[in-house]
Amino acid sequence: MTTAINPRRQLGLFDATMIVMGGIVGAGIFANPSEVAHRVHTPFLILGVWVLGGLIAMCGAFIWAELATRLPAAAGGQYVYLREAYHPAVAFMYGWGLLLVTQTGGMAAVAVIFASYFRALTGVNWNDSAIAAIALVTLTGINCLGARAGSNVQSALMLLKIGAIAALVIIGFAVGHPATAGLKSGTLLGQPPSFGLLKSIGAAMVPIAFAYGGWQTATFVAGEMRDARRDLSRGLLIGVGGVVALYLAVNLACLRVLGPVGLDATTTPASDVMRIALGEQGARWIALAITISTLGFLSQSMLTAPRVYYAMARDGLFFKSVGELFGKSRAPVVAIILQGLAAIVIACSGTYGEILNFEVTVDFIFFGMTAASLFILRRRSTGSETVTSRVPGHPFTTILFVLSCAGIVGSAIIASPRNSAIALGIMLAALPVYYFWSRLTRAHL
């Protein structure tokens, strides 16, 4: 076993695009259309908030694309942007939250969703925790072989996801169900907005923010891209744009088949669309699509998140072994195993549901801070850097994104104050840990 100095650069534009899309598209798009319809009840508002969420996501993609061109060799991506713009303590807080709340908790929940669908499809008589653990162990092993192996699996699963979503959309439009009449009424056009309506729109933005989140994880593997300045920035824009198009198409298909009332009444809109179109066989096909989608999300998470813990260890803020690279693949094997074990523990503990409720609060605080870091990095710029991607409309679009993040955090706190308070407590607990760890590191120098 040998330790390498730098990660191996082997990923290109296609890999970057698939990683971006894989980080966003999980199981949520098969269920979230109804979650949104529970909060806003007309086709105009349902589609409108998804468009709004897509615009916010595209603003974020442009911001992250410029950050990627300003710090192209940064293994750890968003972690490094926060470190360079603010302070290592802020970056550590982000990595801490990623391991304890956002990434690991999300992975654990999605692994159990995968297990329930896998068991229903195959009929195996195992409990969900065992199946989830096997899936996570398998993906951990694949990613320990290197970024190329992990990316190949992730890309294949993402292409299958795109095919499944495209099939859902095509079948939904082909059905021609009478519910299409609902698309022509109740738009609320011309009516003045009320506080209740604005509150409903804010509440609807929480599941939409969760559904669109995840593009930032592609920046974690910047250190393993052949040309991160070009390919990562382009992959962010192509990937997010592709997901926005897919999400709007799914919502149109669901509204066409189920109508706004039917979409509000169900919790499984994709299954209902396929059942109406193809009977129980259709429902089985969509269950297979959800199984593939959840596995693809887990694969992407296992590929990307460990690069943040690796970067933290290289900064002396985590166990030294986590910052080591192994073998010809130059993969951060210890960091990958750490991520896999953490997700398995939470998946088997049954506490994953509560942790999922924390994710939007913590994620969008750091989204807003990362976007604001662009102002700091531009101000420090010497003008000698090669910046191939710039945010259109900056500073106005960047400010709009930061304010949107603040609004989403506020909506999440109003919707779930207890969970948000716990999430903020976990996040702030990182500060004393950081100062303890940094003092310990200095003492050993």
Tens of pLDDT, residue by residue over 181-201, are: 444 444 444 444 556 677 778
* Radius of gyration of the chain, Cα coordinates, nearest whole angstrom: 21
Q: Which residues contact 16 (CB under 8 A, 6 or more apart)?
A: 218, 225, 231, 232, 234, 235, 236, 239
Q: Which pTM does this prediction carry?
A: 0.81
Q: Tell me the β-bridge partners of 3.
A: 326
Cis preceding linkage at 33, omega within 30? no
CA distance 68 to 243: 20
pLDDT band (50, 70, 90) for residue 432: very high
> What are the tokens at 196?
């209740």
Tens of pLDDT, residue by residue over 23-33, are: 888 777 887 88
Find out whether 429 and 305 touch, Cβ atoms under 8 Å: no
The residue written with tokens 């942007």 in the block is 81
Q: Among 3.30.2130.10, 1.20.1740.10, 3.40.50.1220, 3.20.20.70, what is the CATH number of 3-443?
A: 1.20.1740.10
Find out whether 371 and 398 touch, Cβ atoms under 8 Å: yes
pLDDT band (50, 70, 90) for residue 362: confident
Residue 384, classified by CB atoms within 10 Å of its CB into exposed (0-12), middle (13-18) or buried (19+), is: exposed
Find out whether 119 and 287 touch, Cβ atoms under 8 Å: no
Q: Return the domain boundaries, the chain.
A: 3-443
In degrees and rounded to multiples of 5, residue 57 shows phi and psi of -60, -40
